[in-house]
Amino acid sequence: MKITDIRCALIGKHPVVRIVTDEGLYGLGGAEWTKPYLKPYVLQFREALIGEDPTDVERCMLKIRQRGSFKPYGAAISVIEHALWDIAGKAAGVPVYKLLGGKVRDKVRVYNGSLRRPHSGSAPEDYAADAKWMMERPEGFFMVKQGIGFHSQMKREVPDFHIGIPQVSPFHGAMDTGPITERGMNHMLDCVAAMKEVLGDKVSLALDCGPGWMLPDAIRFARAVEKYDLAWLEDMLTGDYTPWVNAQAYRELTVSTSTPIHTGEQIYLRHNFKELIETQSVRVIGPDPADVGGIAEMKWIAEHAHMHSILFAPHGTANGLLGLGALVNLCATLPANFVAFEYPTASDPWWHDIIEGLPDGPLVTNSMMNLFEAPGLGLDINAEAAKPYLLEEDAGFFD
């Protein structure tokens, strides 16, 4: 089997890769809806991969892996890798998790970081109401994650929240930074108290915090919330689109508090997790399979973290339904340090009309998902149903 073409189209908000072969099999991979500009980055690898056997996934990846970088530019490499695994699974007639060593669990656990109500405000009562809404959702999530600090609107809506220069940018993930004022710190603590009063010990609470914190503020906040037994504090120092790791500062934060510290969604490749893991600089890592270099890359990182007693909670909130297929297959195979992955949902309602392979009933029950048993990543796109959502320049995407 040989690759005859690599295509990329924007379907709705998602860049979608389609790898075509001379045997009629094809593979799909979908990137986050926040990255509509990825198409040319994907297509630059077309000539490198045409003629290769797509079922030799690692051989293909060796030709392109070094051309990626931290989020967002590792995404082009990562979703090509997803599409290669999709073909490999279809060629073998098995789900991708079988090719990764087989499943160790029959269901995978998810948490809610994406299903939210429209923003109503940054007051403690707003946070309490949002927590109640998330807690009462029919999916029965065991854990919810809420944005706070620099990963929220309070940096704009709370007067004198921090001492810094607001970053106004057209790009997703612009990073505000600077010392947080006493007023800002107290406001965040009031919001945490309000959420925990609602959630109690029935639903765990994780906080997505930044990035952008100064280390003294991060330590002060992490110690102040120890009494709430939070699942983790995420991306305080780096994260999202910051192209560096800063393991030494994370280690100082981690050893200063009993509150688990989490990072990793922006990091590309196992090599850039090495110091974080081997110095135990964080208690939880959360790579994204659509940014880190792909499914196999992420499984290696999870196994390495497991040997160092670091928990694993993958990112995925904006990956859409194709990204869901990648996460489910991967997480079925992960070791015992796996906590749950961040449940991605359809960025537009019509995605449920064009994706094939989803169950008829609820996707999530009691915070758990069944595995997709169809060959490959388990999900496909109905070409006829999807054509109305293609740009004119991508009219031949499904040909």
| pTM strictly above 0.95 | yes
Domains 3-94+382-392 and 99-374 share a fold: no
Query: Would you tell me the crossing angle of helices 215-224 and 182-199 to the nearest 10 degrees?
Result: 30
Residue with tokens 């964080």: 282
pLDDT tens-place string over residues 324-381: 999 999 999 999 999 999 999 999 999 999 999 999 999 999 999 999 999 999 999 9
Side-by-side strand order, sheet with 311-312: 143-147, 204-208, 232-234, 261-263, 284-285, 311-312
Q: Give residue 34's Cα distance to chain centre.
A: 12
Model pLDDT, residue 167: 86
Whether residue 174 is predicted with pLDDT greater than 80 in this model: the reply is no
* Residue ranges covered by each domain of the chain: 3-94+382-392, 99-374
Kindly state the tokens that stand for 37.
């500009």
Instruction: Give, in words, the CATH class of 99-374.
Output: alpha beta
pLDDT tens-place string over residues 75-134: 999 999 999 999 999 999 999 999 999 999 999 999 999 999 999 999 999 999 999 999
Question: Which of these CATH numbers, 3.30.390.10, 3.40.50.300, 3.40.50.720, 3.40.190.10, describes 3-94+382-392?
Answer: 3.30.390.10
- H/E element holding 233? strand 232-234
Q: Residue 289: how many CA atoms within 13 Å on its side-chain side?
A: 37
Query: Would you tell me the crossing angle of helices 182-199 and 124-135 to the nearest 10 degrees?
Result: 30
Across 311-329, average pLDDT: 97
